[in-house]
Structure 1
Amino acid sequence: MRLQTYKLFSALLTLLLLTILVPDVVYATHIRAGDLTMRRKPNGGDREYIITAILYRDVTGVNAGDGLIDFGDGSDNAIVKPQSLGYTEDGETEIIQYQVEHTFPSDGNYKVSYFERNRNPGVRNMEISSETPFYIQSEFMINPALGLNSSPVLLIPPVIKGAIGQKFIHNAGAYDIDGDSLSYRLTVCLQGTDTPVQNYRFPDDPNEDWSKVTEQCETPAVFYIDESTGDLTWDAPFVAGEYNVAFFVEEWRDGIRIGAVNRDMQVIIIDPLNLRPIIEGPADTCVIAGDPLLKEIFAYDQDNAPCYNSDSTLDWGPHPIKLEISQQSDEIAIPPYADMIFTPTYSGVNNSEARGDFSWTPQCADIRQEPYKITFEAKDFPDKSNTQLGTLQNWNVRVLGPAPTGLVAEPASSTDLSNGNTFVSLTWDPYTCDGADEIHIYRKKGSFDFNPVCETGLPSWTGYEYVNSVDVSESSFRDFTVDQGANYCYRIYATFRSPQGGESIASEEDCAFIPDSQYIVQVDVESTEEESGQINLKWTVPMDVTPGRTPYYNVYRGEGMEKIEFDQYTKINTDPLTDTTLVDNLLNTVETEYHYRIEFLEGTSSDNAAPRDTTTLASYVRLSSDAGLDFITLNWTGNVPWNLTPDTVIVNTDTSAVYHKVYRKIEGDETSFSLYDSVFTHSNGLSYTDRGTADLPLDDRKLYTYYIETIGSFEHPSIAEPLINRTQELTVELLDTIPPCPPILSLANLEEGFPMDSCVVEPETDGERSCQKDRFEVELTWLNEQGSNCDDDIVSYNIYYSRRTAVSKNDFGAPVATMDHPEGRPLTIQLLYEFLNREYVEGSYAVTAVDDSGNESDLSNIIIQDNCHYYELPNAFSPNGDGINETFIPMRCPRFVKSINFTVFNRWGVAIFSYNSDEHDGDIEINWNGKTDSGNDVEPGNYYYRGEMMIYRLEESDEKQEIKGSFVILKGNESQ
């Protein structure tokens, strides 16, 4: 805080010295808005930057003078001369630029700021704006590890008019030349370093009447900034005037926040006889670099009165309009906006309609990960210029890299295969788009018809898996991670250098079939059991058995889906088989995944058969699930050599589309499976969602069991198809996320086991008393509310307590206790919990119910109570040794007193006795025997006391209380 105060003082002192030393300088006042950006100096060093502050001056104020920029690095502030950039279209605001070059001393984070002495007068949502400094503070990171960086530039001016009852939208038109990701967040207007202006309020402040309803007459009115698009929306203002709002445009690189540009802008709300224009823009889209993008944008001026004055017969228009791209102007020549062509034509009454033809052919240099935001603006031209209104409409366009071409996949030759060299050779045309850095290679088993529109790379849903990446200068690759007996299909795409990033469209597919001597064609789950599961296996006869020899087979099983070392497999047959089928028994097909390899042997008999080859592995297709409130999603996958998602297969010489079949049975309703549905997996993937039907939705009280019958293909004429394999059976229940209803809570205060009214003190029955602090209890009782939208499977309750006022669950924190629901007890009974041995009963109390799925209800009604403390001191006592009224102690038992600090004064105001309970083990009874602090007896007469008492109260500010009064000592100590 000292540093912040020093910086603000330093800025003010600099301005004061300038005023004294340079009396002919006139400083800018009446500042409406501004923003502060930073860009690297062209051809400069890594830490050489140009700082630019753009301010917007109310022309009714004095002319612009020198500005003050603080670089945030400890160096001297810069006094910068202004440069006028002209005026806004209505002539009411001058645009001023303050620009300075600076070399930062080291890498790091810097807060660069601009200070101006006065804002313009009359801003509604701050105090005395004409005497309030204008201050903007942007943040920048210089970090060579993340690459060179310039801040975003804001291409759309921050002074804009809106109208009462009409939606107001502003967008800064932020553009980052480095291609960094941008996000947006609101902040408050500042008058110094991290110092808000006095009494700043947002336009939708509930204590003000600036907002009431939206443009569509809905409540409440809203004010917000969209963190992704940057649209600042006020729907809708209700009171004319000037309002200032502020926000940050934050830039991100590799997930790290590397800067934030601060804009403080002015919204001028007027009450015109006018309605804003409407823009009908195109949907967000993409374009491949080198291809032309052509779109039509339509805008028109409204001619109906807004909802808050819908009965008006006044002439609202329509008026002539102008339609343009906001980021394009004579002053702005930032690519790629300068390359866009936008030609509007006007028609309709008073030229109140516009059709704009947009065209742009982006180049390779324009490719990047983030979309380009093109903002169209329509402004009308009523008779009075001060009633002009405008509308903004954003359009996001992603520029994608062109797909690599010429991809060819060739399997290894038979010679290579016989020598144990299994691979696929890939070649493609050299990629010529500048800015690309790598070629990414993907593959899948079997072909897939993928025609991307605005998707780059290879999304996971296509089934392609990452293989490797090579430098963009390469145009070939050998994939040695393949097995024989499968058809491998490849696609490639290009990626582009950071920070702009971006990807290309994927290439066309090309496939290579690697022949094998034999193939596993079936791994079919016959039975799903924990100990007695069965899997049916089937494989083909080898194609190249040596003449005069007989083929034999060994079957090996592994656990999991992945390939493992051969010595880790379990041989599941004792002698070599002659048959190409086998049933694998006694398996846990409920929990365990299995895969198989078949070893081919040949010889004249099983005794002399020698191993010759093994198949690639094949697992059974494993089914999994993801349940929701009213749906069950099934997913299945397997590590198999065939294509699980072929487009078609040949059945009885006819080509048929491939559908996987979904079988289902319901516990208690069906004893066997029935065909329930089917999935065209080539387009929908290996997934299915069961939502029941309109007549029979899924029931969260029932269990559903499924299996999938899959159909696959090797896509090779030598292997018969279809390949039919079933998954294991899987039993699923709906996800229970419905919590119980919140309980209805009651509270009773108890004292020594009896009901207590804490604000009434009963007289004591005798002279003896026991004033323990722990004699108070709180008794909570609650009743479970029942409802059709609540679960009734309650198993426990959470009890919440806060010593202070609590209005939400966040105010309580964790539960202070948990209580099980008594087994066998109905939910409608009242349940009891006691807070025992308390020194206080003040606080906030609530209860929640928890069901058997762990869902917790909302809080019950919150009961908030305060203590009614009691501490009364006597007006006389007689320390005379007769055993009666010997000491000065509180009358009756005090209540809810934490500590006492007490001093006695004689009639001349001299303190004669002091007592602090903290020094006496917290004893608040005082028990003064009538002796001074020095041990002398006091004389009879009148005495006074003053002190401070700490009590247990709901609010901390109420806990300290002053006490004062007087009493009489009736006699001295007559026993001595």
Structure 2
Amino acid sequence: MRPQTYKLLRTLLLLTLVFIVGLTDALATHIRAGDLTMRRKPNGGEREYIITVILYRDVNGVPAGEGLIDFGDGTEPIFVQANNLNPGDYTEDGETQILIYQAEHNFPSNGTYKISYFERNRNQGVRNMDISSETPFFIQSEFLINPVLGLNSSPVLLIPPVIKGAIGQRFVHNAGAFDVDGDSLSYRLTVCLQGRDTPVQNYRFPDDPNEEWSKVTEQCEEPADFRIDEITGDLIWDAPFVAGQYNVAFFVEEWRNGILIGSVNRDMQVIIDDIVNLRPIIEAPADTCVVAGDPILKQVFAYDQSNAPCYNTDSTLDWGPHRVSLRIAQKSDAVPISPYSEMDFNVVNGGVNDSEATGAFSWTPQCSDVRQEPYKVTFRALDHPNSRNQQLGTLENWHIRVLGPPPTGLVATPPNSTEITNRDIKVTLNWDAYNCEGADKIRIYRKKGSIDFNPECETGLPAWTGYEFVDEVDANATSFVDRTVQQGANYCYRIYATFGRPQGGESVASNEDCAFIPDGAYMVQVDVEETSEDNGKMNLRWTVPQDLTPGKVPFYNVYRGEGNERLDDSEYQKINSSLIAGQDTTLMDILINTDETQFHYLVELLEGTNTSDAVAFDTTLLASSTRLRSNPALDYIDLIWEANVGWNLTPDTVEVGANKVAVYHKIYRKIEGDETNFSLYDSVFVHTEGLRYRDNGKPDAPLDDKKLYTYYIETIGSFEVPEIAEPLINRSQELTVELLDTIPPCPPTLQLTNYEEGIRMDSCLIEPFKDGDKLCNKDRFSVQLVWRNMIGADCDDDIVKYNIYYSRRASFSKNEFGAPIATIDHPIGVPLTSPVSYLIDNREYVEGSYAVAAVDDSGNESILSNVIIQDNCVYYELPNAFTPNGDNYNDTFIPMRCPRFVEGIEFTVINRYGANVYSYKSVENDADIEINWDGKDNNGNELEPGNYYYKGTLKTYRLKAEDEKVEIKGSFVIIKGNSSQ
């Protein structure tokens, strides 16, 4: 079908629909709300879908009619009629009938489609649109069909959209969106439509500032609050002020792998009544998690508010308390959506008039329920006053994340002695088969040393635990061989399962198991003795090898590398000038930059009878220094440290003498100006808290954003084997930190002084320089900026530099100025209250806008100083006579004094007969603005003495572009007396 034919047919269908509905009732009014969703047809093809439109009809309107579904793919729209009608298909108040329209469709290709539904008319009396009874109802949902992203069905909206609220009370609606594929959902407000991408006439949101539908919140705070929570989907109106019907539209957007793959459109009606009743209150449990296969048991409590509000104490009104019903809003026998159909919720009423309800929630999710996104359970409480039209309800969300069960039976087996001898260094992992539906991979992690990790609602292995990813295998695997290990460390492993997309999800991590791989010798100390950029010191220590050939003695070479990862051999520097022999297993590495660089070390082991016959036979596992980093905030400083070492940095205990002592890393601190020496400030039980610490200050000594804090960490570690003495104590480098400073300095106060050839030029009245007094070079002007800082209680006084701003035109903001033309440091030793200056030299002009901003040591920039805008005083005066007679005096026609602020000139000489005899045009960027005309015409012939005229155009330097061209004209005399030669 050609596009023109399709468009004509579509128009005829729409007109036919309008005509059919018009036959029923010329003023047909009925639709309150609706939404449009799609799902893949069971056992259908990849692009076969069932489109479902659910409408909500005002029972006071006409009976259900036909609607038009457009598939958005160029095929013909189709008429559909309501089906599956039952006498009970009404909302709880009985005022709205629920209608279902469906159509099946096979889309022609992959792509994005806008599927829409059209029908006339909406119900009458909607406040926030014009003449709703004559306005079509139109919804359009968008859907992506892309096999690369996987098969897909749109979210379903399980909570009906026709909701009642009360004047002055907070109103909340939630669509109860559930995505069967487990895709991530977000929510976005839109406008109500009457046609494809066509808003209804004069649509206004309920908080339109030109209306009085919203004034204050339920708590009488301004302004009123109307929005949709983009994460939870709560549509909130806090609070309506005028009774009536309002229509609101929003999209439920569906995301997969960060890609928007669809959006479901809901157009809903909010009915606000002047109700003498208060909505019930729900107390839901805190969001939680549950492992698949384990039951979750929680209680939900709801009660009716019985106290009349303070603004109305009429005791004759029916304030309650009323009976309260409580249920799961998404749970419906008519629409048995899993997993809501599997949730049990038994409610028991109590209190006065059964005004309290306690719901016992129970659910045992299965492996098929594991997913990345939490399940949203929405509870609904409804009170039951004597009059149904006074009834109010409340919604409350609760989120449950279903986790996969942890893999079991993990065993880590180190290489045996034969394998070590043959250099077959590996750790073999075995675990039980993971029998959980939907799992696709087992991810393997390890760290050096053991750590307690008891996750609650945490899957996988967070970075703070120190575990690093090794590899992954299929979910049906039960073993793995790790060949990336080295001798000299205790490797501890955990594994967890991941679940396939789109639902995704992870399991809880397994229990830990460790495998120690012995070595001939071990690095046991890389301790920062001194922090310095050029005189740093590092204490190194290692153990004497135990596997020497009988009759041989050990020797050592120590190698240093930057960073904490193994490098190529060529990148290492040997730091001992000769072999270190025997029992000497320490070395001080000096003259290094421990302030800015992390180092690691390797010890090469040699054996022989003396240094001349020593032969290398092994190398220790590398060990790095402990590197301390910081993340400062406004009122606290986070410290994080790490090291790549063979020992465990987070053991729970170490042996000290005959005792086991808990391991705490120690935090040492000093404050600039207050303390000259470090003192022990605090400690961290790193086995459970990790290698991190937050300094919040002390109750009697909060952190000060005007002070510098310097830290270092003393770490304690263990190889967790009896052969190596413990504890292993190593210090980090010293690190100086300040709180995150967001307070900018105050703006400086700026003054300008202009100079011409070094002489102050305060006004346009100053005489221009005379010829001979100064050279008339163009770059003879300068501007000196002088400013003073404003220091006060509301401004930072840690100013370290200044940004200089300049613009040729009138500018007032940083955006108009653009980037600074220069940045200068505050002069060393100069008080902040003293003036600071900056000279802009060697310029052809002084016009423009000038400003300065102060910058503190955290990079915060002040607002601009006062902006000074100035223009140039242009000066260009030509003589009324000259004598081109070759006497070297007044031989050329030039300006009488040095021109000011002239960039170029176009100049023409005219004789007394009106003929142009000479023309001159200065060349831009190399312009001789002084003309220097010798009295000859354009052909090089000398002009006769007499009267001449001139005209020309000056191109000047001015603040405004429209002022830059200046027309000049005048007359002069050529005089030719006797030459002096």
Amino acid at match of 1:141: L
Deviation at 1:628, TM superposition (A): 2.9
Q: Aligned in 2, Cα 1:669/1:373: closer, same or farther, shift over 3 Å?
A: same
Equivalent residue, structure 1, for 2:690: 685
Determine whether 1:72 maps to 2:76.
no
More deviation, 785-794/475-484: 785-794
Q: Aligned in 2, Cα 1:345/1:113: closer, same or farther, shift over 3 Å?
A: same
Determine whether 1:617 maps to 2:622.
yes
For the 8 Å contact 1:215–1:306, the answer to whether it is kept is: no
Q: Aligned in 2, Cα 1:464/1:7: closer, same or farther, shift over 3 Å?
A: farther
For the 8 Å contact 1:7–1:193, the answer to whether it is kept is: no
- Matches of 1:468 and 1:303 in 2, distance apart? 60
Q: What do the CA deviations read for 1:537-595 (whole angstroms, capped 9, x no partner)?
A: 11112222233222222222222211123454222221242212222222221222221
Amino acid at match of 1:584: D
Percent of aligned positions that are identical: 67
Q: Could you say what secondary structure the match of 1:721 adopts? A: coil
Equivalent residue, structure 1, for 2:481: 478
Unmatched runs of 5 consecutive residues or more in structure 2:
752-761, 765-784, 869-981
Q: Aligned in 2, Cα 1:67/1:569: closer, same or farther, shift over 3 Å?
A: same
For the 8 Å contact 2:604–2:618, the answer to whether it is kept is: yes
Q: What do the CA deviations read for 1:723-768 (whole angstroms, capped 9, x no partner)?
A: 011112222233332123468999xxxxxx999xxxxxxxxxxxxx
Deviation at 1:22, TM superposition (A): 9.5
- Matches of 1:207 and 1:21 in 2, distance apart? 38
Equivalent residue, structure 2, for 1:973: none
Q: What do the CA deviations read for 1:26-79 (whole angstroms, capped 9, x no partner)?
A: 797321111010111111111111111111111111111110111111111111
Partner of residue 114 from structure 2, selected from 108, 111, 135: 111
- Matches of 1:188 and 1:805 in 2, distance apart? 40
Equivalent residue, structure 2, for 1:606: 611
Q: Could you say what secondary structure the match of 2:148 adopts? A: helix
- Matches of 1:783 and 1:187 in 2, distance apart? 52
Equivalent residue, structure 2, for 1:123: 126
Amino acid at match of 1:189: C
For the 8 Å contact 1:562–1:639, the answer to whether it is kept is: yes
- Matches of 2:383 and 2:793 in 1, distance apart? 54
Q: Could you say what secondary structure the match of 2:647 adopts? A: coil
- Matches of 1:33 and 1:592 in 2, distance apart? 65
Q: Aligned in 2, Cα 1:20/1:668: closer, same or farther, shift over 3 Å?
A: closer
Deviation at 1:117, TM superposition (A): 1.8
Equivalent residue, structure 2, for 1:658: 663
Equivalent residue, structure 2, for 1:352: 355
Amino acid at match of 2:705: D
For the 8 Å contact 1:281–1:297, the answer to whether it is kept is: yes
Equivalent residue, structure 1, for 2:366: 363
Q: What do the CA deviations read for 1:157-210 (whole angstroms, capped 9, x no partner)?
A: 000000111110000000000000000011111111211112211111222111
Determine whether 1:265 maps to 2:264.
no
Deviation at 1:508, TM superposition (A): 0.6
Determine whether 1:588 maps to 2:587.
no
More deviation, 55-64/521-530: 521-530
For the 8 Å contact 1:217–1:307, the answer to whether it is kept is: no
- Matches of 1:832 and 1:314 in 2, distance apart? 77
Partner of residue 491 from structure 1, selected from 485, 491, 494: 494
Equivalent residue, structure 1, for 2:968: none
Equivalent residue, structure 2, for 1:240: 243
Equivalent residue, structure 2, for 1:171: 174
Q: Could you say what secondary structure the match of 1:145 adopts? A: coil
Equivalent residue, structure 2, for 1:577: 581
Q: Aligned in 2, Cα 1:57/1:451: closer, same or farther, shift over 3 Å?
A: same
Q: Could you say what secondary structure the match of 2:413 adopts? A: strand
More deviation, 182-191/728-737: 728-737
For the 8 Å contact 1:376–1:393, the answer to whether it is kept is: yes
Partner of residue 640 from structure 1, selected from 636, 645, 652: 645
Equivalent residue, structure 2, for 1:14: 13
- Matches of 2:296 and 2:327 in 1, distance apart? 17
Q: Aligned in 2, Cα 1:858/1:668: closer, same or farther, shift over 3 Å?
A: closer
Q: What do the CA deviations read for 1:878-924 (whole angstroms, capped 9, x no partner)?
A: xxxxxxxxxxxxxxxxxxxxxxxxxxxxxxxxxxxxxxxxxxxxxxx
For the 8 Å contact 1:664–1:673, the answer to whether it is kept is: yes
For the 8 Å contact 2:805–2:817, the answer to whether it is kept is: no
Q: Kindly report which structure 2 residues correspond to 1:691-710, keeping only aligned pairs within 5 A, or say none.
A: 691-710=696-715
- Matches of 2:175 and 2:811 in 1, distance apart? 42
Partner of residue 206 from structure 2, selected from 200, 203, 206: 203
Q: What do the CA deviations read for 1:627-670 (whole angstroms, capped 9, x no partner)?
A: 23333322211110000111111111111111111122223333
- Matches of 2:670 and 2:120 in 1, distance apart? 77
For the 8 Å contact 1:406–1:429, the answer to whether it is kept is: yes
For the 8 Å contact 1:445–1:642, the answer to whether it is kept is: yes
Aligned length: 827
Q: Aligned in 2, Cα 1:20/1:670: closer, same or farther, shift over 3 Å?
A: closer
Deviation at 1:852, TM superposition (A): 5.6
Q: Could you say what secondary structure the match of 2:277 adopts? A: coil
Q: Could you say what secondary structure the match of 1:461 adopts? A: helix
- Matches of 2:865 and 2:11 in 1, distance apart? 54
Deviation at 1:6, TM superposition (A): 12
- Matches of 1:458 and 1:554 in 2, distance apart? 38
Equivalent residue, structure 2, for 1:51: 51
Q: Kindly report which structure 2 residues correspond to 1:249-648, keeping only aligned pairs within 5 A, or say none.
A: 249-309=252-312, 314-573=317-576, 574-578=578-582, 579-648=584-653
For the 8 Å contact 1:217–1:308, the answer to whether it is kept is: no
Equivalent residue, structure 2, for 1:763: none
Determine whether 1:714 maps to 2:730.
no
> If the length of structure 2 is used for normalisation, what is the TM-score?
0.78
- Matches of 1:162 and 1:309 in 2, distance apart? 18
- Matches of 1:164 and 1:587 in 2, distance apart? 73
Q: What do the CA deviations read for 1:2-26 (whole angstroms, capped 9, x no partner)?
A: x9x9999976642323466898777
Q: Could you say what secondary structure the match of 2:133 adopts? A: helix
For the 8 Å contact 1:288–1:402, the answer to whether it is kept is: yes
Equivalent residue, structure 2, for 1:766: none
Q: Could you say what secondary structure the match of 2:581 adopts? A: coil
For the 8 Å contact 1:798–1:849, the answer to whether it is kept is: no
For the 8 Å contact 1:429–1:475, the answer to whether it is kept is: yes
Deviation at 1:265, TM superposition (A): 0.4
Deviation at 1:786, TM superposition (A): 6.1
Q: What do the CA deviations read for 1:81-100 (whole angstroms, capped 9, x no partner)?
A: 12235111111111111110
Amino acid at match of 1:381: H
Amino acid at match of 2:70: D
- Matches of 1:64 and 1:799 in 2, distance apart? 69
- Matches of 1:572 and 1:13 in 2, distance apart? 90
For the 8 Å contact 1:551–1:601, the answer to whether it is kept is: yes
Q: Kindly report which structure 2 residues correspond to 1:127-146, keeping only aligned pairs within 5 A, or say none.
A: 127-146=130-149
Equivalent residue, structure 2, for 1:30: 30
- Matches of 1:853 and 1:440 in 2, distance apart? 42
Q: What do the CA deviations read for 1:301-346 (whole angstroms, capped 9, x no partner)?
A: 1101235436766340011111011111121111111111111011
- Matches of 1:119 and 1:379 in 2, distance apart? 27
Equivalent residue, structure 1, for 2:901: none
Deviation at 1:815, TM superposition (A): 4.2
Q: Aligned in 2, Cα 1:855/1:322: closer, same or farther, shift over 3 Å?
A: same
- Matches of 2:661 and 2:707 in 1, distance apart? 36
- Matches of 1:567 and 1:435 in 2, distance apart? 48
- Matches of 1:596 and 1:801 in 2, distance apart? 55
For the 8 Å contact 2:174–2:233, the answer to whether it is kept is: yes
Q: Aligned in 2, Cα 1:21/1:853: closer, same or farther, shift over 3 Å?
A: closer
For the 8 Å contact 1:424–1:482, the answer to whether it is kept is: yes
- Matches of 1:454 and 1:46 in 2, distance apart? 36
Q: Could you say what secondary structure the match of 1:318 adopts? A: coil
Q: Could you say what secondary structure the match of 1:309 adopts? A: coil
Amino acid at match of 1:635: I
- Matches of 1:159 and 1:279 in 2, distance apart? 20
Amino acid at match of 2:346: T
For the 8 Å contact 1:636–1:686, the answer to whether it is kept is: yes
